[in-house]
Structures are given as structure tokens and as C-alpha cells.
Amino acid sequence: FMAADVHQFVPVMWNDHTPEPYRKSVHLDQDLADRAIEWITGHKSIKPDLPFMMLWASGSMHSPHHAPDSHIDKYKGKFDMGWDKAREQILKRQKELGVVPANTRLTERIPEIVAWDSLPEQEQRLYARQMEVFAAQMEWVDLQIGRVVDALERIGELDNTLIFVTADNGASGEGGLAGTFNETYVLNGLQTSLEENLQNLAEWGRETTYPHYHAGWAMAGNTPFRYFKQSEHRGGQHDALVVHWPNGIRSKGEVRNQYHHIADIAPTIMEAAGIEVPETYHGVEQQPMDGVSMMYSFDDASAPNRKKRQYYEMFGNRAIWVDGWKAVSLHAKRMPWDVNVVLPFDQDEWELYHVAEDFSESTNLAKQHPDKLKELTEIFDEEAWKYNVYPLYDDMIKRLGAQQDRLFGDQKEFVYYAPGAVRIAEKSSAPVKNRAHTIETRLDLKGGEEGVIVACGGMTGGYTMFVKDGRVYYDYNFLNGVYYTLKSPELPRGQVDVKFNFIRTKPFGGIGELYIDGNKVDEVEMPSMHIATYSLAETFDVGGDTGTQVSKMYADPFVYTGKLDRVIFTISDENVVPPRKLPAVYH
């Protein structure tokens, strides 16, 4: 899949550059494991002595959290203790396993997360269900990884294969302070209400939801650390790494505490394979590899760190690690669910931790060691300039919205032709969000035609224009909760000109109008619209709706059965007029 996440039951997929036929899945992780096993066994059959490399990247555990019902049911009631007790239990187990130092302190619960015992029973049930689904998905993806490992064992290559298993960040708090049945809310700067989530409780983790859990569970998942994915405290960027290579590592079942980074995996593979990184390739000068191989630590637990420094930055959150000391700044004290916060960087406060002694970053030493803090922040500046971190940028909503601006600049007209304009990424389609625009097409009707003329997005949000029961509809899906619908009278036969016109009357809303042959036939107030994105994985299509359906008024893919030539979008930012009172369509 091409986006940051994907619907696990209804995935939008590509095979290399070719769109995969749209189909429902038992669960995407199972499909990905099937493909991996097919590739591994095929490779062994055809070129048994040729080395191979595979990157197996599941959609889990990124939201949406989806799992088969059979696995969700297994975890019913398992998290009724809540996130506070879960943190205590997790740290106790971590110490028993030896994966954290015995003197590790549990950081305090951050004030934004309420105590579990203070929650009403109804909320506890909702949030427990969210974690049940998360746990079920984790078990499910673990089973799929196991299937791939079993395939390596079956072909006799497990002992000779270097395997890394890791995550890409800490647990995500982007579900916010209630969790969300539709994570696209957060991407548009909104939070789901408790009532909306409760309405989706029974379906949580199933096909009709696109869920993310309460940030309290992310806090528990990041035990013993503070904060979440996006932050550069250890809760955001300290991950476990499992390395398995029986033929290359004498030590078995041991823990290593040397400090390393994801950038160090590639140099480790190169050293393990006995390959030197070339300075040039086919006459082209290569960039140097910045990481440090970890192989020195595989059979020497006490080997001193060969890595001396590592910088971090995300959305203005910054950190630098140098020889067991770490300086870190949480930009604007922003939590991951607060995507609208934009503040000057010079107001940020740097913290200092001696992580060689204080594994969980529990004690801020900035006041005790100001010189050390100054030394580290100066090193951060060196690294930031060296690796193009500067200038810093923290406007997440603007960044998401600007992706289309960078592609199209001042372009105002967009013409899409059938049948080839399908499976186009949302960010590569006409940039209509929060802009005055028109959508126009000419239909040649013989009678009985139906189907989607154009659609962008899916169940989490988007827009669609379609023909059904002899009428043209325009349906705008706002976050899978509110629909703004326009409908024409019954259409005549012959050539019919169809136009949707959106008049922007306020920053994130306006009026929609539907025209047939130049005559306005319907209008509706559209008070709320997407700021940044309809979805992360759904696409733009002419002549059908490939993916989950934008509208509940049809079943996807609802391919248009008539003759369709082109659809024309025209963008304008000038139609800002005083609001008019019209009946809003909420259902």
C-alpha cells in the first residue's frame, strides 16, 4: 500500500506500479505474509544459491486497528484494569525479562491523561474495547510474522538468514483523549466525541470503522517512558529490536544495551554480507552511509558504544543523544492530538537526561547541569545544519494541505478522461478542499445508465457524483458522520450537461449547487468541510469508486454503465460571499 496506513479489510493495493484488482481481504497482514511466503519459496526453487533481501512491512500496528472477530473476542475483559495498572504490570514484566534496567523508574502519568479509576463505567468499557482490538491486531500480525519465519525454516534457510524485527516509533497518541472510530478526524484537526465513539462501540475494529485507541493506552504501551509517537522523548522514539541469525551470532537469548538507531541497520547488513559501501556506482558518486554497524555488539555484551551521537526531529520536537546524555525539547508542549498548535521555536524549553543512568528519562537535570545542556544543544545545531533539519516547520495541517499546492501551483483547470483516470492518489487529484470550484461533465443518456461519474476518498470522507434511478447526485461525506447531498430531477435522454458548483462562504464551509443544462436544480449548505485530507489511502476515480464507497447510497465500485468522456474541475478562490441561510442536510 502506498499511504501512511490502509484499511486492513478493504485495502487499496499496488503490485509494484500496477494497481491490484480491488477486493476485500480476510486481513491485509495475512495477504502480505502469503505474498512473502510465495516469493521466498519461489526464489529458493529458481535460484537456491542466490542471496536475497526482503522488507516485510505490515500495516499493523499503525491505525486503523483492525482484527478478526475471533481474535478480538479472546481479549474481552483483559484490559478492564485500565492504563494505570497496566503500566505497573508492564514495567514489572520488563524487569523480570531483563529488557530494562532493574532500577528503572516509572515516569509519572502526564496530566492530559486522566486516572483510569476516575472514569465513568461507560467510558471504561469503551476504552477497554479499544485496547482489546489493539491487542488482537498485535497478536494477529505476530502470527503472520511467524508464518514467514516458518517458511524460511521449511526451505532450510532460517539459520542462515539475518532477521531484524522492530517498530518505527513509539505508541501513537494520535487517537486523542477519547480514541476515535475514524482517525481522519485527527488529521483534520478535530476530535471525535464520546457519543460518536459509543455509537460505534459494537463495530470497533471491524470493517465499518477506521479506529484508533485512547492516548492513555499509548502511554501504557510506551512504559516506562513519557509521551508518544511524534515526541523525541523516549516514549516517541525508543523501540525494541530483535535480531536473529543463528549461523552468525553465537550468543542466544541475550539483551544488548548499546545505543543504536534505525540508520544503523543498513551498515549492519552490509558488514554481515561482507560488502563494502561503494563510493561510486556506475560512475555516479554515492552519498556516504551515516549509520554505524551493530555487529560488534552481537557477541560482546560489554563492548563500548561505537555510536557517539544521534539527532532527532519531528514536527519541531527535537533531541540529541551524545555518549549517554540526552537533551530533548517537546515543541510548544504539544500533544499529538493537538494538530492546530503553531508557536515560535525560541519559546521551547530544553530538558536534560543522563539516560545511561536514568533509562526512563524520569529526572530532568537541566538546572543541575546547564553547561552540559548547552554543549548538547550546540551539537544538535551542528547535526541539524549538516543533515538539512533546518528550517524547522510545525504547521501539520498546512503541511498536509500544501502537498497539492506543491504539485499544481497556480493551475486552475483539471481535465480527467475515462477510462484511464482511476486509482489516482488523493493528493494528486484536483485540489478542491476549502476552495470554490466546479465539477462538470456531459452525459449521453440512452436510458438506464447508472454508476459513479467521479469520486475521491472513501468511507472516512470525500465526495462523489453519480447517477442512480435516473437522477444525478452529489454526495459529500464529512468524516463518515455527516452527508451533504444534492439531487437532480429525473434526467432526460440525450446529451445532458451536469455541473456541481461550490461557493465558499467561510474558511471551512460554503454552499453547494447542482446544475442540469445550465439550470440550478438543487442547493445545500455545507457548513463543515475537510481541512487537510479525506483519507490516507483512498483514491480519486473517474467512472467508478474503487476502494470503500464515499456514499452510503451505493455499493462500490458502482462502475458507470454509460458513455463517459471526461470530467472537468475548475478551481477558484474568489467566490467568498456573505452566508445565506439554507437548510443543511445532516443524516
Task: Please give, one letter per residue, the 3-state secondary structure of 310-333.
Answer: EEEEECCEEEEEECCEEEEECHHH
Which range marks the domain in which residue 121 is found?
A: 64-239
Cα distances (angstroms) measured from residue 400 to each of 87, 220, 267, 394, 404:
34, 29, 33, 11, 8
Which CATH number do you get for residue 372?
3.30.1120.10
Residue 340 sits in the same domain as residue 263: no
Rounded to an integer, the average pLDDT of 157-164 is 98
The grid cell for 424 is 489516482
Q: Give the whole-angstrom CA distance, residue 228 versus residue 215.
A: 8
Residue 154 sits in the same domain as residue 93: yes
pLDDT at 187 over 90: no
Domain membership flag for residue 191:
yes
Domain boundary among 213, 239, 265: 239
Q: Give the whole-angstrom CA distance, residue 419 versus residue 240.
A: 47
Which of 122-131, 336-345, 381-390 is predicted with the least confidence, judged by mean pLDDT? Answer: 336-345
Q: Give the pLDDT score at 21.
A: 76
Residue 185 sits in the same domain as residue 196: yes
Q: Give the whole-angstrom CA distance, residue 467 versus residue 545.
A: 13
Q: Give the pLDDT score at 36.
A: 98
Q: Give the pLDDT score at 574.
A: 56
Give the residue, 584 or 376, on which the prediction is more confident.
376
The H-assigned helical ranges of 387-436 are 396-408
Domain boundary among 394, 426, 445: 394
Q: Give the pLDDT score at 578.
A: 41
**Structure confidence by residue, pLDDT tens digits, 307-318:** 999 999 999 999
Residue 418 sits in the same domain as residue 516: yes
pLDDT at 582 over 80: no
- Beta carbons of 212 and 157 less than 8 angstroms apart: no
Residue 113 sits in the same domain as residue 227: yes
Strand partners, 482: 478
- Beta carbons of 182 and 129 less than 8 angstroms apart: no
Which CATH number do you get for residue 180?
3.40.720.10
pLDDT at 583 over 60: no
| Cell 464507497 sits on residue | 549
| Cell 517458511 sits on residue | 151
Cα distances (angstroms) measured from residue 450 to each of 5, 444, 486, 574:
31, 12, 16, 34
Q: Give the pLDDT score at 171.
A: 98
Residue 560 sits in the same domain as residue 419: yes
Residue 261 sits in the same domain as residue 335: no
Q: What is the largest CA-CA distance in the chain?
A: 82
**φ and ψ at residue 541, rounded to 5 degrees:** -140, 140
64 closest CA partner among 14, 13, 125, 9: 9
pLDDT at 115 over 50: yes
Q: Give the whole-angstrom CA distance, residue 163 versus residue 249.
A: 11
Domain membership flag for residue 117:
yes
Residue 216 sits in the same domain as residue 85: yes
Domain membership flag for residue 276:
yes
Q: Give the pLDDT score at 340.
A: 76
Sequence-separated (6 or more) residues with CB below 8 Å from residue 171: 217, 218, 219, 220, 221, 222, 228, 229, 235
**CB-side neighbour CA atoms (13 Å) of 159:** 4
| Cell 484499511 sits on residue | 7
Domain boundary among 377, 394, 411: 394
**Structure confidence by residue, pLDDT tens digits, 394-430:** 887 777 667 777 788 889 999 999 999 999 999 999 9
Domain membership flag for residue 41:
no
Q: Give the whole-angstrom CA distance, residue 175 versus residue 165.
A: 25
Give the residue, 349 or 393, on which the prediction is more confident.
349
What does the angle CA 255 – CA 264 – CA 313 come to, to the nearest 5 degrees? 105
Domain membership flag for residue 493:
yes
**Structure confidence by residue, pLDDT tens digits, 236-295:** 999 999 999 999 999 999 999 999 999 999 999 999 999 998 999 999 999 888 899 999
**Structure confidence by residue, pLDDT tens digits, 306-348:** 999 999 999 999 999 999 999 999 999 999 998 777 888 989 9
- Under the banding of pLDDT at 50, 70 and 90, the label for residue 586 is very low
Which of 101-115, 206-220, 386-400 is predicted with the least confidence, judged by mean pLDDT? Answer: 386-400
| Cell 487499496 sits on residue | 12
Q: Give the pLDDT score at 576.
A: 46
Domain membership flag for residue 39:
no
| Cell 500496528 sits on residue | 61
Residue 262 sits in the same domain as residue 287: yes
Residue 283 sits in the same domain as residue 337: no
Q: Give the pLDDT score at 196.
A: 95
Q: Give the pLDDT score at 401.
A: 65
| Residue 159: count of CB within 10 angstroms of its CB | 12
Domain membership flag for residue 371:
yes
171 closest CA partner among 222, 205, 134: 222
**Average pLDDT of the residues of the chain:** 94
Domain membership flag for residue 36:
no
Torsion of CA 337, 342, 344, 350, to 10 degrees: 10
Which CATH number do you get for residue 549?
2.60.120.200
Sequence-separated (6 or more) residues with CB below 8 Å from residue 562: 443, 444, 445, 446, 449, 450, 451, 467
Number of domains in the chain: 4
The H-assigned helical ranges of 180-274 are 184-187, 194-199, 215-221, 234-237, 265-272
The region that residue 457 occupies, defined by phi over 0 for left and psi between -120 and 50 for alpha, beta otherwise, is left
Q: Give the whole-angstrom CA distance, residue 171 versus residue 286.
A: 35
Residue 350 sits in the same domain as residue 410: no
- Beta carbons of 332 and 394 less than 8 angstroms apart: yes
> Which sign, positive or negative, has the C-alpha torsion 543, 546, 550, 554?
positive
542 closest CA partner among 404, 430, 409, 435: 430
Give the percent of the chain with pLDDT over 70: 97
Give the residue, 370 or 18, on which the prediction is more confident.
370
Residue 524 sits in the same domain as residue 420: yes
Q: Give the pLDDT score at 581.
A: 39
